[in-house]
Structure 1
Amino acid sequence: MSIYFELTMALHYLRAKNIRFCSVMTLFSVMGIALGVATLIVVMSVMNGFQEELLNFILGTNGHIKVFLDKNINPNYKEVAESIEKIPGIAKAIPVTSDQIIIEASGSVTAAIVKGVEKPMIQDNIIAGNLQNFDNGIIIGTHLAELLNVYCGDKITFISPEVVLGEIPKMQQYEIIGIFDAGKFEDYNILIYMPLKMAQDFLDYTDSIRNIEVFVDNIDKSDRLAEIIEQTTQMKSESWQSHHRDYFNTITTEKNVMLLILTLIIVVAAFNIISNLMIIVQTKKSAIAIMRTFGATSWSIIRIFCICGLMIGFVGTCFGCIIGVTFALNIENIKTLCENIQFSTSITHFFSNLPVILVTYDVIYVAILALSLSFLATIIPALQAVRQDPAEILRYE
């Protein structure tokens, strides 16, 4: 039997008008597959978004790898930074100092973290002033500016927390030449950037630093690059992956568990396919027997019912992908609709901050998963069809 014949028979069985119940079952099977695929795509996209948000929150403007300078190995931090930048995959190596200090301005006193760098990587976050005069002043976050009621051009007094008994703490005034927006990164609300030379002088680093922050081209390779840096510089290196591994392992585990749970929706739809095809086998057993007597092989009958299941799975998967991708790409419009319906404040607040990142690989993975389960669902009905004895069936027809 030709594949065209098998395809025609499969289509005929799925849309048979005299078996209304089977047609309804087919529709439910398609809807089940579509619902499962769409749900998986949306949930995986949301989980990707949360993972990206967590990564941005943790990294912020920090480097992807920290190299802790060991002056006993090489006291020349500039030479070390240059050697790191020569490693393939390294974008930038920035020497930094980082210490807690006390600051005072306009009669207000608070604690802050001062970070000494040659040039801060916050060009896109500057909302007042600029980085052109960075060598002559400091840059603070919006939170500190509001807390101290200061603006560009004002001066802040730095007070060293290290005080020798009987001595006055070290104090120095610095001019604000820029304000940056820390955004959602609350840890950076108390951060101050200042020129590396100024930081070294105020914090008594002489001609040294605390560590080197390394930025890489592909953050997923940070662990491997950290190992290469350790081998090259003989200094301890720590990537963001090793430092925050527990957070991301938790997100990955949660994503896998959600994938497993929501796959059950497709499994239920696959059981509908099995039920639908088994009903078709029982209803069409006479037609199957006649095809067998006219020369249809067992493999031909099996292929007919496999095509039936794959058609259901293919149509359901296509609709599910369209629905899931459309939903994921239009979260903002759906959020607006939810606001117009006037959901509770807590729901709309959560929905407005719902991050979504649609990954093509995830869509392909879900589609292959749905098609595979649809194919597996055809095996039992197909075997049931070929096991029937044509002579026994036709004897009573």
Structure 2
Amino acid sequence: MLLSRYEWVIAKRYLLPGKGEGFIFLVASISLVAVMLGVAALIVVMSVMNGFRAELFDKIVGLNGHAVIQGYGGRLPDWRELLDETRETEGVVSASPLIEQPLLTTFNGRVEAVLVRGMLVPDILNNDTLDGKTVAGDLARLEPGAGRVGIGSRLATTLGAQVGSQITVINPQGRTTPFGTVPREISYEVAAIFEVGVYDYDKAFVIMPMEDAQTLLLLGDQIGMIELKTIDPENVGNILEPLLPKVAERGVITDWKSMNASLFETLQVERVVMFVILSIIILVAVFNILSSLIMLVRAKTRDIAILRTMGATRASLTRIFVVVGTSIGSLGIVAGIILGLIAIYFRQNVINFVQMLTGQNLWDPSIRFLTELPARTDPMEVLGIAMLALLFSFLATLYPAYKAASTDPVQVLRYE
């Protein structure tokens, strides 16, 4: 909005408190702080919700792929031919054989439910989710037939195991004897302990070479599934459609959307709800701008009448008060963005500090899946929040500006 020089002078004058206008300035300051807090809260919450979705997607999809071809009965025979056909499908980046089976493990008398995951050694070493997440030992020590495994950090803590410990994995479907089925028990050395940051994985995963998993589960040369990654996770269904006829007789294709539908839909609903609720907070904050401008117009009625007699137009007065109100809102928006980004940067420190003061665990990984509070700020989303707050601030100025422009100098100055 372009203002003339005198309009800028008057607008700046009205932004500062005059004699007897301390209360109006206080209300305007409260308005600025309220807008700042509303914008900061909205940026922090939206960034955290984005971070949740991104972290869960990266780690869940990183270990489970964008889709899996799962054999009927948990077994996929003649899988090498299907694996080659899958890799040749347009849009498929990688395809890896995989065995995954819930079993039991024991160490020093402690028994825990685990999820045994058999992978080819190159796939283990090149997995982006596992890369750099080893906290002890080395996944490179995993070799077919060597009797070594990698386990999650929380599973290691629960069992009391460490690198070099011998844990026993129990397969209930063991050998059949005249007295019944005897569970199959095989001891493995813990070669590595990893922490991917997802509680459910860190407390249950036991990773071993695929050949060892086949021996443990008595699968022979069969596998359980083929894990796929595509060029576009959001379009995974269309990419894998040509594979459906080839897989139909042997298994089913399940993509990441189906496997984690409830989780990601819940996050999306919470994201929308939080955005609406916090937008209402900003709306309430700009009502303070409306209140302060109304009081300012009433306090400056005589000044406005004099300006009108000196030739100031209605449009000029409208612009002045619109600029005053939007300036308050703009300062609050800028301060809110700065405060929000600072809060995001120090988010984990804030949580740790509050936990120290209250003695309460505010971030239980067993409930919230992730070990740390994630955040991912979207610049376009921040811009959208700023524009929304600026729009609310602008709308709040229209009524006071209209009242100022409608001032009748004759009525005001009649008895002066």
When normalised by structure 1's length, the TM-score is 0.81
Q: Deviations over 1:12-52 (max 9, x none)?
A: 11214123332222212111111222222233333344445
One-letter amino acid of the counterpart of residue 145, structure 2: N
What is residue 287 of structure 2 aligned with on the other side?
271
1:231 aligns with 2:232: no
SS of residue in 2 equivalent to 1:135:
coil
Tell me which residue corresponds to 2:373.
355
Q: Is 187-196 or 151-160 further displaced after alignment?
A: 151-160
Alignment CA distance shift 1:270-1:105 (3 Å):
closer
**What is the match of residue 389 of structure 2?**
370
CA distance in 2 between counterparts of 1:272 and 1:153 reads 65
After superposition, where does 1:71-220 map in structure 2 within 5 Å? 76-85=78-87, 90-101=92-103, 112-119=114-121, 120=124, 121=127, 122-126=130-134, 127-137=136-146, 138-141=148-151, 143=155, 147=159, 152=164, 154=166, 156=168, 159=171, 161=173, 164=176, 166=178, 169=182, 171=184, 173=186, 175-176=188-189, 178-182=191-195, 185-187=199-201, 189-216=203-230
After superposition, the C-alpha distances for 1:63-121 in whole angstroms (9 at most, x for unaligned) are: 232223579xx965344434544567654321112234566777877664433221323
Any idea what SS the aligned residue of 1:378 has? helix
Relative to structure 1, the CA distance from residue 85 to residue 285 in structure 2 (aligned partners, 3 Å threshold; closer, same or farther) is farther
Q: Say which is worse superposed, 266-275 or 143-152, in terms of deviation.
A: 143-152
- Rate the CA distance shift 1:264–1:108 in 2: closer, same or farther, 3 A: closer
Query: What letter matches 2:192 in structure 1?
Result: I
Letter in 2 for 1:28: I
Structure 2's unaligned 5+ residue stretches are none
SS of 2:357's equivalent in the other structure is coil
In 2, are the aligned partners of 1:116 and 1:198 still within 8 Å (CA)? yes
One-letter amino acid of the counterpart of residue 124, structure 1: G
Moved more, 164-173 or 40-49: 164-173
- Alignment of 1:281 with 2:297, yes or no, is yes
What's the Cα RMSD here?
3.8
Say which of 399, 403, 407 aligns to 1:380. Answer: 399
Out of 291, 303, 307, which is 2:307 matched to? 291
- Secondary structure of the residue aligned to 1:114 is strand
CA-to-aligned-CA distance 1:284-329 (integer Å, 9 cap, x gap): 2333334334443332222111111110001111111112211221
Rate the CA distance shift 1:212–1:13 in 2: closer, same or farther, 3 A.
same
- 1:376 Cα deviation (Å)? 0.8
2:6 aligns with 5
- Note the residue ranges of structure 1 that are not aligned, 5 or more in a row: none
Say whether the 8 Å CA contact 1:105–1:150 is kept in structure 2.
no
Paired position in structure 2 for 1:300? 316
Distance 2:364 2:206 in 1: 31
The number of residues matched between the two structures is 390
Q: Structure 1 129/261 Cα, relative in aligned 2: closer, same or farther at 3 Å?
A: closer
| Secondary structure of 1:124 counterpart | coil
Q: Could you tell me how far apart the structure 2 residues matched to 1:358 and 1:111 are?
A: 33
TM-score (norm 2): 0.78
Contact 2:162 2:193 in 1 (8 A): no
